[in-house]
Structure 1
């Protein structure tokens, strides 16, 4: 799956992720309406943040598992292949259970250190401890899902992993609509655990169809397991530092005012919408391909697949960042401003979202660069880069928070993400002895110019729609719809006019199919 196949192979995966993200927006809108921007949602978001921070272990598991499992697949020995998979499942599950028990035991201390704002009253503190302990149970399902999805992705089966968020969000939406009034936030925490279980369970049929089954075995001395867990450490540290950045921001936000964590979280969710749909989808598709090409020492095809991925990310993420920044007010109003989520909370979230937008592009490129390093089994460079990122973020947070509040935390994230992504690109260029930085810069310049033209267009359309339509809700909906249609048309015209590589290829392919 090289070159043009990377783009084609991503279509269904992206569609599944898009549906999942639409459901995620519905979920978030329901959370905002039911609970508002209050200490209750702050507790849930903080507790979920702990889970996501610890899921970096599972990310490291999947990332290091795929290249090694691919080697087993190449040998053609199914028994050895299955033994390797089962050994990893059992070792990682044992570790996860021990870690989960320890964290549940010390949950009070975790809250006291990392969310001291929740200790202001016994009621809030006790509720936070309870919610954290419930959500920690999710970790075992995350670990199992990581190995199983690693198997599927090694076989280049991406549909089930891409559909995981879709299925779990259905569980959340059902709970929020029908059960919130009876069971509250505690019930939603339990529903979240069920959602993580569903994410694991939907992969099992395909997993078994590929010829895998469970067998208990525990071999800590297996050379492949030892190699994998050694490789995992830098990957876990690297990814943990990325998640720790989010966790640190939440910790800073708990000391601003109640609701600050929720505002920060909602702004970040809207900002990462395009990133999670397209960038993660492309990275998921390209990683097994890069690992395979690296193992075969096919440098030419490797660089082609990498260049295609970088270009695809920029074509999507740059205009998305511009559009979301301009349309932040109608977007936040439509998604969140209802029920307990007030006008003030919506305005604060919109302001925070603006400063998050530059990070969107950096996140997308960073993911591709990380996958490129992992595919050539360089796990140290992303780890060092992530460490630099969190240090930068913390330093900027200390200086900026007193002047800009929650928006300052978003700006600090964007600055640190941009700097570390540029460092990563420079390191990758050095490592691979050239990834055509000049060509990347030219492409980025053309895409940025096209995005600016599009941005001016949708800015004018948005102002016109919101000024002539009296109903705020209808005005916002029409504005976003009109901006989407005209924005895409203008952007595509500009891409074609500036002869942006990748886009012109797609246009030529379309012309050929029409002519046939």
Structure 2
């Protein structure tokens, strides 16, 4: 929902920056923050009242055990408070992106994950899952607070105001439904997997959840960071009534996503067990759980690449006011996930859910690309093929080095650090040797 609000806000506010005064813009932002906060408070109240029903729907296995159910109810009621901070953060994020301030915005989605990792590494044995719920809320509060100093420096100041009749508010909420739906695809897919994971033996839900957390962390660090830079620029290029610059920027974004996600996915494929061991192996989470989670993570790998590309293409459609096309593509992906999940679950168990999700995302992404190509005459097949071949070759060289390192380094932490310190320079040196000529062009994305 946060990404949906931000993505509906950016093109609208981009237009307002050139047509409205600073006071009018500030009024609109204050109005939007107030309305979203009221909606968030209503959702918190609703979820607080019907927590048991929601938990039973999301995790039917947990609902069978009264102790686990009561613990889950308490955690849910604590964690749902996060949406209050997420709502305000989504607006501030859009403001900063339209003013070309990306550092704070990029740090935002990472901060809850970092807080969770710190908690799992240091505090989990002291405060358990209840503490984890509290730290999750703290992480989302931090995600909001990171944006506030820059927001104030830009000259904005929040004052409570509510005006449901403001034209810009009406326009935003008309567009927000299909945008929220299409940008919430990853979360919807996770919800689908949770439903089917509830049918797995003990530990199945955890392996799917933890593997997805690691997978999405890599995607958010790389994919979302690139998208938040490219997306505001797309709207500005369209304001010049041309698809040429627009298509060029989309092509840059796709190649840059591939440049970073392909080696990241390959490295995680090799180092998955070590990453999970460092991240999770403590208490009741032993080596067998590490292996189970690593098996699921391997099948999630394609989504690191294709979620990034798909999300960039969806932003391109938002920019040309074709949010419904993006929503329809999301429906296709969800339908494929519902088709593949039970099919592969029967054959592979927990890894089958990840495989079904990866296939659904990949197929819908390819369909999405050809829809954009038809809409904007985007053409980058030859250039893309050449670049992908070079990226894959450099990735093979890098992973060969990592494979050699694995034979000599037994410590999971040292293996990860050594592979990163040697693998990253090797990858980029290999690209340089392969005459990957797009570096300078890609670095022009600002």
TM-score by length of 1: 0.80
SS at match of 1:149: helix
Question: Structure 2 matches for 1:218-233, cutoff 5 A?
Answer: 218-233=162-177
> Structure 2: 5+ residue runs without aligned partners?
none
Structure 2 equivalent of residue 487 of structure 1: 423
| 3-state SS in 1 of match to 2:218 | helix
Work out which of the residue numbers 86, 96, 99 in structure 1 matches 2:40.
96
Distance 1:390 1:506, change over 3 A: closer
8 Å CA contact 1:242–1:390 kept in 2: the answer is: no
**What CA deviation, in whole Å up to 9, does each residue of 1:481-516 have, x standing for no partner?**
444455345433442344334137689x9xxxxxxx
Q: Is the 8 A contact 1:65 1:147 kept in 2?
A: yes
User: 2:379 is paired with a residue of what secondary structure?
Assistant: coil
Identify which of structures 1 and 2 has the higher relative contact order when contacts are C-alpha pairs closer than 8 Å and 6+ apart. Answer: 1
Q: Distance in 2 between matches of 1:313 and 1:482?
A: 24
2:94 counterpart (150, 158, 161): 150
Q: Which of 420, 438, 444 is matched with 1:502 structurally?
A: 438
Preserved CA contact (<8 Å) 1:312 1:502: no
Q: Which residue of 1 aligns with 2:256?
A: 312
Partner of 1:335: 279
1:283 and 2:227 are equivalent in the alignment: yes
**Quick one: distance in 1 between partners of 2:280 and 2:100?**
37
1:399 Cα offset (Å): 1.0
Secondary structure of the residue aligned to 1:258 is coil
1:400 is the counterpart of 2:348: no
**How many residues were matched structurally?**
444
1:242, 1:386 within 8 Å by CA — same for their partners in 2? no
Matched residue, 1:135:
79
Q: Distance in 2 between matches of 1:506 and 1:283?
A: 13
- 1:95-135 CA distance string (max 9 Å, x none): 22222212221111112223111121211112211211111
Per-residue CA shift, 1:223-250, capped at 9, x if unaligned?
A: 2111111110101121334311111112
Aligned to 1:257: 201
Residue pair 2:120, 2:279 contacting (<8 A) in 1 also: no
Superposition deviation, residue 75 in structure 1: 2.3
Query: Which residue number in structure 1 is paired with residue 304 of structure 2?
Result: 360
Residue of structure 2 in register with 1:125 after alignment:
69
Report the 3-state secondary structure (helix = DSSP H, G, I; strand = E; otherwise coil) of the residue aligned with 2:170: helix
Corresponding residue of 1:465 = 408
Deviation at 1:284, TM superposition (A): 0.7
Separation (CA, whole Å) in 2 of partners of 1:171 and 1:415: 31
After superposition, give the CA deviation of every residue in 1:426-471 in whole Å (9 maximum; x if it has no partner): 1111110123233223322332233234333433442x325xxxxx
1:323 and 2:275 equivalent? no
Instruction: State the shift of 1:66 in Å.
Output: 1.2
| Alpha-carbon shift at residue 168 of structure 1 (Å) | 4.4
Deviation readout 1:174-206 (Å, 9 max, x if unpaired): 766776555432233123222222222232222
Contact 2:116 2:135 in 1 (8 A): yes
With structure 2 as the length reference, what TM-score do the two structures score? Answer: 0.92
Task: Say if 2:305 is the partner of 1:369.
Answer: no
268-277 or 255-264, larger mean C-alpha shift: 268-277
CA change 1:376–1:117 in 2 (3 A) is same
Deviations 1:283-310 (A, max 9, x none): 0111111111112224322222222111
Which of 184, 189, 193 matches 2:137? Answer: 193
2:373, 2:379 within 8 Å by CA — same for their partners in 1? yes
